Structure 1
Amino acid sequence: MVKGLVKGMGTTLKAFFREKSTIRYPEQKKPRSARFRGRHELRRYENGLEMCIGCELCQVACPANAITVIAAENDPQNPYSPGERYAAVYEIDMLRCIFCGLCEEACPTEALHLTQEFELADFSRENLIYGRDRLVNRHTSDFKVPENVYPPYEGRKGLDAS
């Protein structure tokens, strides 16, 4: 009986002097890996145009059907993106998202990016459907607009030629 008691106290004393494995979460945060997938973000070019061209490939790639993209024609005088189209409606339902990163891989212009931010809790379900206003990056990135990515539109050859 005494032998078991001494053995238990020895285990307790060893654990008492061991380095703590817990952290004080709100004040201290553990570093995340470089490949961590958190909150979604839509990037912009350095000139302020959105990188998203409304191709809807991210919507098709999403296995959880969490992304909704509705594209519209881009106005040449006041463009939203460098292409012919832009995403007029871009929503991500964070309640359905499984943070797999397939949407990020499918994006041809690298407009969609998963950040390191992981604190996404909210009190209402409506606030967890992120619209374009919450997804668009407010900071300009160092991503440069490639030269001649989109050649000038000259009409459809078979239909517009007369």
Structure 2
Amino acid sequence: MADDRSYQPLRPQPKGIKELFAPVAGFGVTFSSMFKPIVTEQYPKEKVPTQRRYHGRHQLNRYADGLEKCIGCELCAWACPADAIYVEGASNADLPDGGHMSPGERYGRVYQINYLRCIFCALCIEACPTRALTMTNEYELAGHTREGMIWEKEDLLAPLREGMLPAPHPMVEGTEDDQYYRGEITGPTQMQKDWVAEHTEPKEDAS
């Protein structure tokens, strides 16, 4: 049965002069904000720098001689809660003439990140045992197609810095993979440079 009692507002209603200016008081927040500094970011014309630990696009890193840090262990794929990472490992022993893509026995032959699924939680970064996978400050990841949002290994690999050699090539002579992990390799040796020069096909003259 409906309650026949009339509605009684809990808040007392303004009377007299207060009732006259009540509608104007509602614009108090609007008027006060008009005189505050403008905080609108003029993106994309002006880009505000991100924080140092911002979770942006992923990057597959290299060692100082150019070998890839990824060993194809797939721990990042297992750690991903969104199932956004796909990894296929392969053996360095299958590469010709003692070449290596990464130190040790295995390397990541296929590496994909689906940015339609990625939630940028960085759990994959914590799972990586060799610090092969890190996150950059890049956040412009829009694409025109769904296929274009699946980044391949070539898209994620860090560019070769000065002095680095493109993989595959042998490890530094007389070293083990744990020496790479500890950061004892500071750059390529002459033996590695000679191997790469010998196994690099000469470029055809376009003319």
Q: How many residues align?
A: 147
- Post-superposition Cα deviations, 1:39-83, rounded to whole Å, max 9, x if no partner, equal 111001121111101111111111111111111111362211112
> What is residue 161 of structure 2 aligned with on the other side?
140
Counterpart Cα distance in 2 of 1:11 and 1:66: 44
Pairing of 1:65-76 with structure 2 (within 5 A):
65-74=83-92, 75=95
| Residue of structure 1 aligned with 2:64, choices 15, 21, 46 | 46
Paired-residue identity, %: 47
Q: Is the 8 A contact 2:84 2:117 kept in 1?
A: yes
Q: Partner amino acid for 1:17?
A: F
Matched, 1:29 2:47: yes
Counterpart Cα distance in 2 of 1:100 and 1:11: 37
Pairing of 1:8-157 with structure 2 (within 5 A):
12-74=30-92, 75=95, 77-140=98-161, 148-150=176-178
- Structure 1: unaligned runs, 5 residues or longer: 152-162
What TM-score results when the alignment is normalised by the length of structure 2? Answer: 0.63
Q: Is the 8 A contact 1:45 1:140 kept in 2?
A: no
Cα 1:107–1:12 shift into 2, 3 Å: closer
Counterpart Cα distance in 2 of 1:49 and 1:103: 21
Q: Secondary structure at the match of 1:124?
A: coil
RMSD: 2.4
- Structure 2: unaligned runs, 5 residues or longer: 1-18, 163-170, 180-207
Greater relative contact order: 1 or 2 (C-alpha under 8 angstroms, separation 6 or more)?
A: 1
What TM-score results when the alignment is normalised by the length of structure 1? Answer: 0.79
Q: Partner amino acid for 1:96?
A: R
Counterpart Cα distance in 2 of 1:86 and 1:99: 24
Worse-superposed segment, 64-73 or 14-23? 14-23
Q: Partner amino acid for 1:57?
A: L
Structure label with greater radius of gyration? 2
Counterpart Cα distance in 2 of 1:150 and 1:6: 72
- Post-superposition Cα deviations, 1:90-127, rounded to whole Å, max 9, x if no partner, equal 11111111111111111111000111111100010001
Cα 1:106–1:140 shift into 2, 3 Å: farther
